Amino acid sequence: MTLVDNAVYVDGKRSHDPDSLDETFELTRTSGGMAWIGLYRPDEIELLAVAEEFGLNLLIVEDALAGHQRSKLEQYNEQLFVVLRPARYLDDVERVEIGELHLFVGPNFVVTVRHAESPDLARVRKRLEHEVDLLSLGPQAVLYAILDQVVDEYAPVSAGLENDIDEIEDQLFGGDAEVSRRIYELSREVIGCQRAISPLETVVGELQRNPEKYGVPPQLKDNLGDVLDHVLRLIDRITAYRSLLDNALSLSSTLASNRLAETSVAQNEQTKKISSWAAILFAPTLVGTVYGMNFEHMPELDWALGYPMALALMVVLGILLYAAFKRNNWL
């Protein structure tokens, strides 16, 4: 089993480090303490073993095994099942990675099932082990601390997305041909974050507004209110990012259309010039072609001034055509 950490806490202090789940369950029962078990990507057999040992509701286990769920809070008698979608920003590839975290919270135990690298639950455990008074409040204190960590880890994600949007603004006016694709990809990441964060308003709000229903100690109400404030600010920022990207995509389309129109206008101007010079050169060519025919009877063929007149006609036609095209701004 991918058991990351397994401990029993009594009065907020780590009192036992059991070697097995059987021992954990027994120590929890005999000491009156709280078990906190951390699992990383367990398979079905491993999760069912934990469920059997701690009497987890089978409906909760089925939801956990199904996976790929939105953030939610469900209550089954005295047990809570919480799904969270933590995220982290990968600087090397400029991409947001969204994970999944399941929490089983009972009267005297917390089981966390992590399916991604985030959140950093070791940091949560270390923090609570240094805050004995907070940890002594029981499993709901662990739930609060994990919620707080998940929300805090969205801060660098938000900063990374903001930086990406700033870069896109520079690309937009720099004429980068790949900017539309980048906007689309970033929009998908923002939408993914929005889907992960938005349900947290309901999850944290429910715990904060109905502490008695979910067994939350009154001391945690203000703490949950602070987490809720952070969630609401995050939702506002992500919503603003989505709006900015929608506008950027529209602007990208407009700029692309303008560049296409400018290219078309430039091509039309070149076509006009080519056509004009072709017409100017065609006039003397036509005259020369006619007088180059070897017919016996042609006007002015025996006239002494016929040759100069033909040349003059070529020049005059060329000048007249040039003047006409110039006046119409074709040249």
In this structure, are residues 202 and 232 in contact, taking their beta carbons and an 8 Å threshold?
no
Q: Both tokens of residue 118?
A: 């985030």
**Two structure tokens written together for 288:** 């020369």
* pLDDT at residue number 304: 63
Contacts of 108 (CB under 8 A, 6+ apart): 28, 32, 33, 34, 35, 138, 139
Pair of tokens at residue 238: 């992500």
Q: What is the pLDDT of residue 256?
A: 65
- The pLDDT score that the predictor gives to residue 171 is 78
* Nearest-10 Cα torsion for 195, 79, 123, 191: 0
Query: What single-letter DSSP state applies at residue 119?
Result: S
Confidence (pLDDT) at 294? 61
287 bridge partner residues:
none
In 3-state terms, what secondary structure has residue 10? strand
Edge-to-edge strand list for the sheet holding 79-84: 13-16, 3-10, 34-40, 109-114, 101-105, 79-84, 72-76
DSSP-derived letter for residue 108 is S
> Hey, which bits of the chain come out as E strands?
3-10, 13-16, 34-40, 72-76, 79-84, 87-90, 95-98, 101-105, 109-114
94 sits in the region (left: phi over 0; alpha: psi -120 to 50; else beta) called left
Task: Judge if pTM exceeds 0.85.
Answer: no
Q: Choose among 71, 83, 211, 231: nearest CA to 141.
A: 211
pLDDT tens digits for range 33-51: 999 999 988 888 888 888 8
User: Cβ of 69: how many Cβ atoms within 10 Å?
Assistant: 14
Mean pLDDT for each 10-residue chunk of the chain (331 residues)? 85 90 88 91 85 84 78 90 93 88 93 88 93 94 95 93 86 73 88 92 93 92 94 94 84 69 72 77 72 62 66 77 76 71
Nearest partner of 247 among 190, 195, 177, 199, judged by Cα: 190
pLDDT digits (tens, 9 = 90+) for 78-100: 899 999 999 999 988 888 999 99
Neighbours of 79 (CB within 10 A): 20
